[in-house]
Amino acid sequence: MGATAVLIWVGVVCAVGVNGFAAGIAAMLYIWRKQLRRGARTALAAFAAGTMPATLIAVIGLSEEGFSGEGPLIVSLAFGGIMAIGAAVALPGAMIVARGLERPGDEFRAFE
């Protein structure tokens, strides 16, 4: 029971961290690339934040054991899967910030 609670706690902390990272990237893209639409900024921010946890899998692929036998396929599938999950988890933070930056007078509507 204790290991499950720790795993859930780590998952929640990582989800909050990935959302915060995606929100920061969405704000950075708003400042640097104002010509991008809101959907493009949101997707880019979620994709960039999703690659952050997936880079941990890339370390396995760079080791000698990662590329022996069927290793490259498994490592690339794991990288893609974790990146997709990380991007899906990061999407709410990116959406809230991207929407809030386009309408600065409507702060109360950002959380509807």
More confident residue, 80 or 103: 80
* Tokens linked to 101: 């930056």
User: 20: which 2 tokens?
Assistant: 């915060």
Question: For position 35, what pLDDT does the model report?
Answer: 83
Contact of 87 with 21, CB cutoff 8 Å: no
Domain ranges, ordered by start, for the chain: 2-111
Report, as an integer, the average pLDDT of 33-39.
Answer: 82
Supply φ then ψ for residue 102, to 5 degrees.
-75, -25
What's the whole-model pTM score? 0.72
Please tell me the predicted confidence (pLDDT) of residue 17. Answer: 86
pLDDT of residue 71: 65
CB-based contact 37:61 (threshold 8 Å)? no
pLDDT tens, position by position, 54-94? 887 777 666 666 556 666 777 778 888 888 988 888 888 88
